[in-house]
Amino acid sequence: MALSMAASVSVAAKVSTFNGKSVQAKTIRAPAARAAMKVEAAAATTFKSGVVTGKDFLAILDHAKANEYAIPAVNCTMGPVINACLEAAKNANSPMMVQFSNGGGIYNVGKGEAAAATTFKSGVVTGKDSLHVRAIADFYGVPIILHTDHCAKKLLPWFDGLLEANEEYFEKHGEPLF
């Protein structure tokens, strides 16, 4: 059964304060009739801004589950898409998953045979995009989760490149790249 354009669906019954800022739940309506509904906020919760991993990541997942909200994951194919995601997360005062995939990496460098082969074998673009996110995410004041897409068996060489980039980053910085 399809949802008609005139119908509305509430996306949040309860919302807590996120990173010390008031949060409003929104009701999804037809584009011309969008409206916000104020929801009473619970006690303030503050999370690390920028890229989060480990215990910080788990705390965000626990918070989302306890407060019944989803964390969007966007497959980012190039810098402007990454920047738009970070800006959207800031505007919504919400965590965001920036997701990278082999197909997105190939899109980023083009489908030329040599470029696609390099991207496929090494995960080089995904690693560089992840460094871009790490370099700028903290400026947006919200938690950002780096996520690497699932991997079919034929893409294992790409995933091996991601593991190498992750290990190299961890050795230098003491935390995972992704």
At CA 79, angle to CA 52 and CA 168, rounded to 5? 50
Residues 177/129, Cβ–Cβ less than 8 Å: no
What is the helix (H) or strand (E) element at residue 100, kind and residue range?
Answer: strand 96-100
Strand order in the sheet with 50-51: 50-51, 143-148, 96-100, 73-75
CA distance 84 to 106: 20
CB atoms within 10 A of CB 54: 9
Catalytic residue (one of 56, 129, 138, 149)? 149
Residues 86/144, Cβ–Cβ less than 8 Å: yes
Residue found by looking up tokens 């399809």 in the block: 2
- State both tokens at 121: 């074998």
Active site residue 149: yes
The residues carrying an active-site annotation are 149
